[in-house]
Amino acid sequence: MNRGPAVRILHIIHSVDPRSGGPSHALRGLVAEQVRQGHQVTILTTNAQSAEPWAQEAEYRARIQADPALAAAEVFIAKAYGRSRPFARFSWTPQAWRWLRRRLRDRNLRPDVLHIHGVFSHLTTLAPRLARRYGVPYILRPAGTFSPPCLAMGRRNLKRWFTNLFVAGDLRRAGAVQATTPAEAEELCAQFGLRRVAVVPHGVAVPWANGTTPDEARAALGLPPAARVILYLSRLAPKKRPEWVAEALARLRPDNPGLVAVFAGPDAGAEHDLDQAIAAAGLQDAIRRFGFVTGGQKEQLLAAADVLVLPSRSENFGVVVVEAMAHGVPVVVTPGVASHIHVDASGGGLTVDDTLDAFVAGLRQVLSADRRHLGRRGREYVENHLTWQAVTRHVEELYQAVIDGKPLSGNFVAAHVAAVKCFLNTNP
């Protein structure tokens, strides 16, 4: 495909705190590749942080400005107010409103397209209104917000009221609404009667094949050299059910005495349940705990892992699953993890029924299989379909369709489905 002209892109997101999970993580990969492709990229965000402990204001801003993934983009971090619930999520930000109005009003600085990530915050609510006022096309990416399990969490009535009053109209007037999976696209179309929905998956960076060896990684992490490692690499949130991993370990360890479970991720409400499950099973010696990890330590964890698990009730995508596949790590997931479609297509792991018994059986099956074979299948699939280069091409096509006011290219579903079918046919 021939590259089109450079596009002036303005990304809008409530928070780029790395601890906020998938949307922030995905934005980093997309922005880095867009800059590499020669586009002019700006990010408007707030100083809202996603988890305690709260960093000092100056420290947090310096950390974001020094982030290498965002280094080549212009980043404006607006002051936001409200840390207590429910105001922490909304984060009222008049400074962002003033900045965005000035930017859209100036014809020399005005972006060609706004890419809005998330809903239910002041910033992501004011952006569509200002975009329409100044005639700038925008794309809205709900990031799984409207899946039934997600809507059922927290303040359901407040979400429903806010959606009816603000978000539904913004979705219907958008140049396009971006879904991450075909399942999310179907949900959005059914709930809001949308016609312009594009399916564009998350991308991932594929590491060099000659990176850290499992033995080197285990030594660096203080794990026994002969250990077999079950890795849970995500926030400790109730919907993700980390306690299932501890319960599965208790069942599997009698036949696998060297089996250990590693938990890496900040607490998001499930740490107490996990602690209780570990104590009840007497697993303290078989558990390793890390908080939020990134960079080299995250790479070491993936290199050390024999299998990555995510037994979540609901994930709009579950990017850590695809990251594990890119690192050649087999995975076991439940059907609520939307990226299970890529696990199934690649043969790089298992999607099991949504029960603890099925989860344990799936783990047992993967641990007894050829790890290198499963890992190779997953990595090959990611290299063919889910690199940031491949995903950014789809996003560029989406931008051009929205800027030109043209029909979306088969909603971008056909090309993705065809790619999956091609991979399955050529890798039986």
| Mean pLDDT computed over 148-169 | 80
| Mean pLDDT computed over 29-36 | 94
What is the reported pTM?
Answer: 0.81
Q: So what's the pLDDT on residue 88?
A: 58
Q: So what's the pLDDT on residue 172?
A: 96
Mark whether 333 and 361 lie in a shared domain.
yes
The CATH number linked to 183 is 3.40.50.2000
Mark whether 179 and 290 lie in a shared domain.
no
Q: How confident is the prediction for the chain on average, in pLDDT?
A: 89
| Mean pLDDT computed over 260-273 | 94
Neighbour-count burial for 308-343, b at 16+ CB within 10 Å, e otherwise: bbbbbbbbbbbbbbbbbbbbbbbbbbbbbbbbbbbb
The pLDDT > 90 percentage for the chain reads 71
CA-wise closest residue to 363 among 321, 318, 328, 332: 332
Q: So what's the pLDDT on residue 183?
A: 86
Tens-digit pLDDT profile for residues 359-416: 999 999 999 999 999 999 999 999 999 999 999 999 999 999 999 999 886 544 444 4
Confirm whether 121 is domain-assigned.
yes
What domain range is 265 assigned to? Answer: 214-384
Q: So what's the pLDDT on residue 411?
A: 42
Q: So what's the pLDDT on residue 425?
A: 46
Confirm whether 231 is domain-assigned.
yes
Q: Which amino acid is at 99?
A: W
Tens-digit pLDDT profile for residues 237-249: 999 999 999 999 9
Q: In whole angstroms, give the CA distance from residue 235 to residue 238.
A: 9
Mark whether 49 and 123 lie in a shared domain.
yes
Confirm whether 421 is domain-assigned.
no
Confirm whether 424 is domain-assigned.
no
Mark whether 319 and 405 lie in a shared domain.
no
CA-wise closest residue to 311 among 349, 348, 282: 349
Q: 156 pLDDT band (50/70/90 cuts)?
A: confident
Helix or strand (DSSP H, E) at 281: helix 271-281
C-alpha distance from residue 113 to each of 8, 138, 241 (Å): 7, 6, 38
Q: So what's the pLDDT on residue 162?
A: 87
Mark whether 233 and 157 lie in a shared domain.
no
C-alpha distance from residue 194 to each of 170, 259, 308 (Å): 11, 48, 36
Question: Is pLDDT at 149 greater than 80 in this prediction?
Answer: no
| Mean pLDDT computed over 95-115 | 97
Confirm whether 380 is domain-assigned.
yes
Confirm whether 259 is domain-assigned.
yes
Mark whether 233 and 254 lie in a shared domain.
yes
Mark whether 13 and 71 lie in a shared domain.
yes
Mark whether 296 and 223 lie in a shared domain.
yes
Helix and strand counts by DSSP (H, E) for the chain: 19, 13
Give the count of domains, the chain.
Answer: 2
Mark whether 364 and 396 lie in a shared domain.
no
Question: Of all residues in the chain, what percent are helix, strand and coil, respectively (each to 5)?
Answer: 50, 15, 35
Confirm whether 255 is domain-assigned.
yes
CA-wise closest residue to 69 among 362, 289, 294: 294
Q: So what's the pLDDT on residue 144?
A: 81
Range scoring the smallest mean pLDDT among 141-145, 219-223, 237-241: 141-145
Mark whether 312 and 199 lie in a shared domain.
no
Query: 176: exposed, middle or buried (C-beta count within 10 Å: 0-12, 13-18, 19+)?
Result: buried
Tens-digit pLDDT profile for residues 273-331: 999 999 999 999 999 999 899 888 999 999 999 999 999 998 988 999 999 999 999 99
Confirm whether 428 is domain-assigned.
no
Q: So what's the pLDDT on residue 351?
A: 98
Mark whether 189 and 321 lie in a shared domain.
no
Mark whether 379 and 396 lie in a shared domain.
no
